[in-house]
Amino acid sequence: MAKGRESGMPDEAYWGSFFDPECIVSKLDCAGGDVVEFGSGYGLFTVPAAKLISGIVYAVDIDPQMVAATKTRASDAGCSNVIVQQRDFLADGCERPDNSAAYAMLFNILHIAEAQELLRETYRVLAPGGKVGVIHWKSDEETPRGPSFSIRPRPEQCREWAERSRFRFVRDEELCCCSWHWGMVLEKPGF
């Protein structure tokens, strides 16, 4: 198992200072049934998503420390609808059935070298009409954190990658609650 490039996490409190997780998940249409979170990190977005949905959040991360942190955060919040797994979802998939999730979170992860493979796995697991929330660090201004600018994806790149993976672009989302990031909503077309 190997982490994606430049995927190291800073201190949890410092990381949390960059986001308003409740605002982000609601602005990016997180709702409905089951959710797959690719790269849960500290579980910062896991708990707000779990509180919004009627299904289960399947939070997946390759790092055992992040898995433990997410489990603790969900337990402390009383969220019984969170299942956390340590898994290399690029090599082995996310272990969810085809067409089974209503929503997927791709938050601060599309800088990995295998972004197209991750989008294909996301497409596979989403049900027709399912949505994807994407956030990433802005690439047109200095930010206090984030991957190097040479690998930081721009919104138009992510849209192009997503459309190549058969997603439909829904909209860009202004994240007034998170000044260092941009947001986007995608959808798996219904059949």
Q: Assess contact for 6 and 147: CB atoms under 8 A.
A: yes
Q: How confident is the model at residue 77 (pLDDT cuts 50, 70, 90)?
A: very high
Q: Assess contact for 70 and 44: CB atoms under 8 A.
A: no
End-to-end CA distance of the chain: 35
The residue among 18 and 134 whose pLDDT is bigger is 134
2 dihedral zone (left: phi>0; alpha: psi -120 to 50; beta) = beta
Query: How many Å is the Cα radius of gyration of the chain?
Result: 15
What are 148-184's pLDDT values in tens digits?
Answer: 788 889 999 999 999 999 999 999 999 988 888 999 9
Model confidence pTM above 0.75: yes
What would the mean pLDDT of 103-126 be, rounded to a whole number? 95
What long-range pairs does 169-172 form, CB within 8 A, spacing at least 24? Answer: 170/29, 170/131
What are 38-76's pLDDT values in tens digits?
Answer: 999 999 999 999 999 999 999 999 999 999 999 999 999
pLDDT for 85 beyond 60: yes
Q: Are strands 35-38 and 101-107 parallel, antiparallel or unpaired?
A: parallel
Backbone angles phi, psi at 87, to 5 degrees: -160, 140
Average pLDDT, the chain: 91
Q: What is the pLDDT of residue 66?
A: 94
Q: What is the pLDDT of residue 1?
A: 45
The percent of residues above 70 in pLDDT, for the chain, comes to 94
What would the mean pLDDT of 71-87 be, rounded to a whole number? 97
Query: Domain 43-187 belongs to what architecture?
Result: 3-Layer(aba) Sandwich (3.40)
